[in-house]
Amino acid sequence: MHILVTGGAGFIGSNLIKALFGQDPKVSITCIDNFDPFYPVEIKQLNISEIESQAGFHFLFADLAKISSDELCELITDPVDIIIHIAAKAGVRPSIENPQAYQQTNVIGLQTILDFAKAKEVKQFVFASSSSVYGVNDHYPWKEDEQLMPISPYAMTKLSGEMLGHVYSKLYGIRFIALRFFTVYGPAQRPDLAIHKFTKAILNDEPITMYGDGTTSRDYTYVDDIVQGIIAATKYDLSDFEIINLGNNYTVSLKELIKAIEDVTGKEAVIKQLPEQPGDVPKTFADITKAEKLLGYNPQTKLKDGLEKFYQWFILNKEVVQ
What pLDDT tens digit does each residue of the chain (322 aa) get?
A: 999 999 999 999 999 999 999 999 999 999 999 998 888 899 999 999 989 999 999 999 999 999 999 999 999 999 999 999 999 999 888 999 999 999 999 999 999 999 999 999 999 999 999 999 999 888 899 999 999 999 999 999 999 999 999 999 999 999 999 999 999 999 999 999 999 999 999 999 999 988 888 999 999 999 999 999 999 999 999 999 999 999 998 999 999 999 999 999 999 999 998 888 887 888 999 999 999 999 999 999 999 999 999 999 999 999 888 7
Instruction: Indicate left, alpha or beta for 128 from its phi (over 0: left) and psi (-120 to 50: alpha).
Output: beta
What is the fold, at CATH topology level, of the domain defined by 2-321? Rossmann fold (3.40.50)
Q: What is the pLDDT of residue 89?
A: 95
Q: Hey, is 124 helix, strand or coil?
A: strand
Cβ atoms of 95 and 153 within 8 Å: the answer is yes
Q: Where are the beta strands (DSSP E) in 28-182?
A: 28-33, 57-61, 82-85, 124-130, 175-181
Is residue 164 a contact partner of residue 110, using CB atoms and an 8 Å limit? Answer: yes
**What pLDDT score was predicted for residue 212?**
87
Q: Which helix (H) or strand (E) holds 309?
A: helix 303-316
How many CB atoms within 10 Å of residue 59? 15
pTM of the model: 0.96
Q: Is there a contact between 180 and 246 (Cβ–Cβ < 8 Å)?
A: yes
Is 154 a known active-site residue?
yes
How many other CB atoms are there within 10 angstroms of residue 206's CB atom? 13
pLDDT score at 43:
93
CB-hemisphere CA count at 13 Å for 275? 3
Single out the catalytic residue among 39, 102, 154, 185: 154
Q: Which residues pair with 283 in a beta bridge?
A: 217
DSSP 143: P
